[in-house]
């Protein structure tokens, strides 16, 4: 339905434009600083091992993972995975990305509450993100025959989990970036200029999470708009 409803695009357009801008900023910032070597000439893998050892997290394994910017920390297996473009690079961009993922490992080690909440939401969000819209639109179509929007509201509440997940993700990512900059500063892996540059890389990445929240929220608002409009017609 929303594919041809102009009202959807009116509601969703700001979030869509923000998402495009966020993706452009991530690519441009990463490309800029991925060409600039860090002053110590350390690769991403070397930085990861230094920071993990310094943080008392020697038990965490560091592995290479396929893809570009697919870097992540897996709390289930205590593994920090770095893409080849980051792990084998000695760039300023790699410094920031690696330190950010180590920041997630530190969150896991201290049972950082927002991280625990986000991890607990994963099963619900995985189900709700694809099932919620289906249930909503089936329920909305049925409401024209039954006069009841109960099924549509159920779909809306299923999808609402994605909004909650996106909201909880923000403090997790912001905190990991804050830890990253502190790690690089404390262990002198980046000078003052490089710290500013890594902050630009991390700020660009953070914008994608803000855009994700805006997109899920705009979709939820559209669902509410449809249901309240239906109720007013009744």
- Please list the active-site residues: 101
Backbone angles phi, psi at 89, to 5 degrees: -95, 145
Q: In angstroms, how far is the first alpha carbon of the chain from the final one?
A: 20
Contact 200, 29 (CB under 8 A): yes
Residue from 198, 202, 187 nearest 46 by CA: 187
How far apart, in Å, are the Cα atoms of 209 and each of 32, 93, 106, 108, 216? 21, 18, 20, 20, 11
């Amino acid at each position: 339905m929303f594919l041809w409803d102009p009202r959807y695009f009116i509601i969703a357009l700001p979030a869509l434009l923000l998402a495009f801008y966020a993706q452009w900023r991530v690519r441009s910032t990463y490309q800029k600083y991925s060409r600039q070597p860090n002053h110590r000439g350390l690769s991403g893998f070397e930085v990861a091992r230094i920071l993990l050892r310094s943080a008392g997290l020697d038990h965490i394994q560091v592995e290479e993972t396929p893809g570009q910017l697919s870097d992540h920390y897996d709390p289930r297996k205590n593994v920090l995975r770095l893409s080849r473009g980051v792990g084998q690079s000695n760039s300023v961009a790699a410094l920031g990305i690696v330190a950010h993922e180590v920041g997630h490992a530190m969150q896991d080690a201290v049972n950082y509450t927002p991280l625990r909440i986000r991890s607990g939401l994963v099963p619900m969000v995985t189900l709700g993100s694809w099932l919620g819209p289906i249930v909503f639109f089936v329920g909305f179509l049925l409401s024209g025959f039954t006069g009841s929007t109960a099924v549509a509201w159920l779909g809306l509440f299923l999808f609402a989990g994605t909004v909650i997940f996106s909201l909880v993700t923000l403090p997790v990512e912001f905190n990991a970036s804050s830890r990253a900059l502190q790690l690089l500063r404390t262990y002198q892996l980046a000078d003052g200029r490089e710290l500013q540059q890594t902050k630009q890389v991390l700020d660009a990445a953070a914008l994608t999470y803000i855009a994700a929240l805006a997109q899920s929220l705009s979709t939820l608002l559209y669902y509410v708009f449809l249901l309240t409009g239906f109720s007013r017609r009744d």
